[in-house]
Structure 1
Amino acid sequence: MSGLIVRHLSAGYSKRQVIRDLSLPAVPPGTLLGLLGPNASGKSTLLRAIAGQGRSSGRIRLDDEDLNLLSHAKRATLVGYLPQSLPGTTSLVAYEAVMAACRAVQPNFQTDAVEDAIESTFDDLGIGHLALERMSHLSGGQRQMVGLAQVLVRRPKLLLLDEPTSALDLRWQLSVISAVRRMLEQTGAVGVIAIHDINLAIRTCDQLAVLDRGEIIASGPAANVITPDVIAQAYGVSSRVETCSRGIPFVLADRALG
């Protein structure tokens, strides 16, 4: 089966196991899967494990490739991983930072091809005006956009994004998600995004998976996943799930439980 398959995955940090025997629903090509759940539920650990960072056990397949059997260099060409940490405040300008990131993973890219890809990615994200700005002069949100460009420019087959909208205002949040979805549609890649905004995830993701204490407690289309019971279990919050005029569900959180 093509797409992303994760089965019986366990991972953690040092001697602390965070996720245990976790399996995701199969994620077909062109699909964006949203990971929801409270802090410390395992979203970042899951993304790190799929990216091949840290110790983990289990089965991770992307199309016909077993990612755990690949070299680090080969895996990096297939998987684009954006962690929560922002790109550093170096003296490089944004264009150079994206060029360096691309060259580090795919050194055989022809210069003209890299330059065209960078220009296209900056335009797609709406950050062309930042290309010649030094990274040290950019805001946190702007550096987050450049970090995303460093991943998108390579057109990976699997895109792993850990809170890519956390430092962004509403307009740029929508811009980021739109750019990611366009890339998935154009390339047939798979996207997995950890996100805190439940309503943004409902509107923009094809599938959702809710984590709680290292386990998947609900997964599938938003209409099946986002229920008051699931939200209460994961977040400890009493809520209502309403429907807007376009027929899209949205969550209204009323109060903390307990």
Structure 2
Amino acid sequence: MSLEVASVRFAYRRNPVLEGVDLRVAEGGFCALLGPNGSGKSTLTKIIARVLAPAAGTVSFAGRDLLATPRREHARVVSYVPQSGATPFEQTVREAVLLGRTPHIGLRPTRRDREIVDASIERLGLAELSDRPMSQLSGGQAQRVLIARALAQQPRVLLLDEPTSALDLRYQIETLQIVRSVTREEGVTALIAIHDLNHAAHFCDQAVLLDGGRVVADGPPAEAFDEALLSRVYGLDVRVSRGAAGVEVRPAALEPTPLRAGTAPKESA
């Protein structure tokens, strides 16, 4: 089973955003969608989530057309974490996460539904906030609630649109570790729109680079991260190093200046 996007095109009015995008993410794969602002990362996640409808192309999972699937059934397969989301003013964290069970709930939540919600809250480190109104949370805390809600949905495909943008470094790492463990342990296919190339290289096993609405690189980060290509796409001279610890990308401006022959480093006073 895999998530497959074929020949997807999309435009906002007459401004093309995606032009014939093709990609495949294997079952249990963790794929990073990369590219500068305006390259189409968020638009593509919204199309798969059915927030937006493409002008052309198909999206399928395990051979099933996700764009033609009834909404409730689609929600049993795909969960989506937007960059931010409004919630009812008086809704608590637990109530917000329980919304993730909506595609599975009959007349009322079961004991099993509540156990899944509690496990998701615990997984995201939100237990102490579970009864707090969403209106009292910081942006980073609210973002973790959205991720917990998506996991409570128990999807086969998890879409995340820049989920770490509002998080501090600790929670960025913990969130990416959680998503990686979900893909490896539960076989969930994850697609994350993200800006941090080094986080993508460390946590993801596939990197898809978009530029001008087209896929210009697709593969393991060690293969997809080409110095010349990244420099062109981002408009910045970068260096890519490969070693036992993995792949690292950094601006060329941060490279140490080599010493000229016959000179020695200055000693500090």
State TM-score, norm by structure 1: 0.92
Residue 150 (structure 1) aligned with residue 157 (structure 2): no
Partner of 1:247: 245
Deviates more, 1:72-81 or 1:6-15: 6-15
Partner of 2:120: 121
Note the 1:79-94 alignment, pairs <5 A: 79-88=78-87, 90-94=89-93
Q: Counterpart of 1:22 in 2: which secondary structure?
A: strand
Question: How far 1:184 moved relative to its partner?
Answer: 1.7
Length, aligned pairs only: 251
Deviates more, 1:110-119 or 1:11-20: 11-20
Between the aligned partners of 1:166 and 1:89, the Cα distance in structure 2 is: 22
Between the aligned partners of 1:13 and 1:52, the Cα distance in structure 2 is: 15
Note the 1:88-103 alignment, pairs <5 A: 88=87, 90-103=89-102
Question: How far 1:69 moved relative to its partner?
Answer: 2.1
Question: How far 1:214 moved relative to its partner?
Answer: 0.3
Between the aligned partners of 1:234 and 1:130, the Cα distance in structure 2 is: 41
Q: Deviations over 1:118-138 (max 9, x none)?
A: 111111122211111111110
Residue 48 (structure 1) aligned with residue 19 (structure 2): no
Between the aligned partners of 1:154 and 1:92, the Cα distance in structure 2 is: 18
- Which residue type is aligned with residue 104 of structure 2? Q
Question: How far 1:142 moved relative to its partner?
Answer: 0.2
Note the 1:12-31 alignment, pairs <5 A: 12-24=11-23, 26-31=24-29
Note the 1:80-229 alignment, pairs <5 A: 80-88=79-87, 90-103=89-102, 105-108=103-106, 110-229=109-228
Q: Deviations over 1:5-42 (max 9, x none)?
A: 11111123334321011101x21111100011000100
Q: Deviations over 1:177-219 (max 9, x none)?
A: 1111222223212100000111011000010001011011111
Question: How far 1:101 moved relative to its partner?
Answer: 4.0
| Structure 1 ranges of 4+ moved more than 4 A | none
Between the aligned partners of 2:137 and 2:14, the Cα distance in structure 1 is: 37
Deviates more, 1:79-88 or 1:130-139: 79-88
Between the aligned partners of 1:27 and 1:113, the Cα distance in structure 2 is: 30
Partner of 2:261: none
Partner of 2:7: 8
Question: How far 1:107 moved relative to its partner?
Answer: 2.7
Deviates more, 1:64-73 or 1:31-40: 64-73
The answer on whether the counterparts of 1:12 and 1:45 sit within 8 Å (CA) in structure 2 is no
Between the aligned partners of 1:6 and 1:100, the Cα distance in structure 2 is: 28
Question: How far 1:110 moved relative to its partner?
Answer: 4.4
Q: Deviations over 1:153-194 (max 9, x none)?
A: 111011110000000111101111111122222321210000
- Which residue type is aligned with residue 169 of structure 1? D
The answer on whether the counterparts of 2:46 and 2:52 sit within 8 Å (CA) in structure 1 is yes
- Which residue type is aligned with residue 52 of structure 1? R
Between the aligned partners of 1:97 and 1:33, the Cα distance in structure 2 is: 27
Question: How far 1:247 moved relative to its partner?
Answer: 3.2
Partner of 1:38: 36
Deviates more, 1:32-41 or 1:73-82: 73-82
Larger Rg: 2
Between the aligned partners of 2:45 and 2:74, the Cα distance in structure 1 is: 14
Identity %: 35
State TM-score, norm by structure 2: 0.88
Between the aligned partners of 1:134 and 1:36, the Cα distance in structure 2 is: 34
Q: Deviations over 1:42-96 (max 9, x none)?
A: 0011111111222212121101311122112221221101111234362111001
- Which residue type is aligned with residue 47 of structure 1? T
RMSD: 1.6
Structure 2 residue runs without a partner (length 5+)? 254-269
The answer on whether the counterparts of 1:80 and 1:156 sit within 8 Å (CA) in structure 2 is yes
